[in-house]
């Protein structure tokens, strides 16, 4: 059984359970059940710093928040040590990362970093449940072709690297993988 959390308020969470159907089915169920305006997910082995959502909401100020995706930087870590911090910000400028599709084609969007308005799922659809390993990049491509993107330089997501981690393996077939 796949289990995920739907955040209702800062201090309240509800646990939902469903049959395991892959990551995209769990994400879609979370979107269907969400009560708030914004969606962000945390993978089972990664971490959010406490102010992740607050930093991203601050990055949205001054624009049409229902029509903008914000994503942030992240750090890679193992159980023993921090491996690399500010993975995206060290490689690209804010201006580059906010160009349509630049972040997608340069594999600069880590799945747990985006904050997405519910209205964008209503407009562009949910995660493709046939995509077992690249459902996030399929979604980013669909959304970021038409939607303004803001890069939030705060490094509020920690991505765990371990022997069972297959992130790079799954991304190897995506644009920019040969870099």
Report the C-alpha gap between 60 and 90 in whole angstroms.
22
Report the C-alpha gap between 60 and 178 in whole angstroms.
33
More confident position, 63 or 31: 31
Tokens of 17: 């359970």
pLDDT tens track for 93-138? 999 999 989 999 999 999 999 999 999 999 999 999 998 888 999 9
Least confident of 23-37, 134-148, 163-177: 163-177
Q: Rounded to an integer, what is the distance from CA 112 to the centroid of its chain? A: 3
pLDDT tens track for 35-61? 899 999 998 889 999 999 999 999 988
The interaxial angle of helices 135-144 and 23-33, nearest 10 deg, is 50
> How many Cα atoms occupy the beta-carbon half-sphere of 35 within 13 Å?
9
**Can you give the pLDDT at residue 78?**
84
Placement of tokens 């904050």 in the chain: 115
Report the C-alpha gap between 69 and 122 in whole angstroms.
14
pLDDT, average across residues 156-163: 86
As a whole number, the mean pLDDT across the chain is 82
């Amino acid at each position: 059984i796949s289990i995920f959390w739907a955040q209702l308020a800062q201090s309240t969470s509800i646990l939902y359970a469903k049959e395991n159907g892959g990551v995209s089915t769990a994400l879609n169920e979370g979107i269907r059940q969400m009560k708030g305006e914004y969606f962000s997910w945390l993978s089972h082995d990664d971490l959010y710093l406490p102010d992740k959502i607050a930093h991203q909401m601050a990055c949205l100020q001054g624009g049409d928040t229902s029509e903008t995706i914000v994503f942030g930087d992240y750090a890679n870590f193992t159980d023993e040590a921090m491996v690399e911090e500010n993975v995206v910000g060290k490689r690209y400028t804010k201006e580059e990362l906010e160009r349509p599709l630049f972040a997608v084609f340069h594999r600069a969007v880590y799945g747990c970093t985006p904050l997405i308005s519910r209205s964008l799922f209503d407009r562009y659809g949910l995660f493709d449940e046939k995509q077992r390993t690249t459902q996030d990049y399929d979604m980013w491509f669909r959304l970021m072709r038409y939607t303004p993107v803001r890069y939030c330089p705060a490094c509020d997501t920690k991505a765990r690297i371990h022997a069972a981690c297959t992130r790079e393996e799954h991304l190897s077939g995506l644009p920019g993988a040969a870099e």
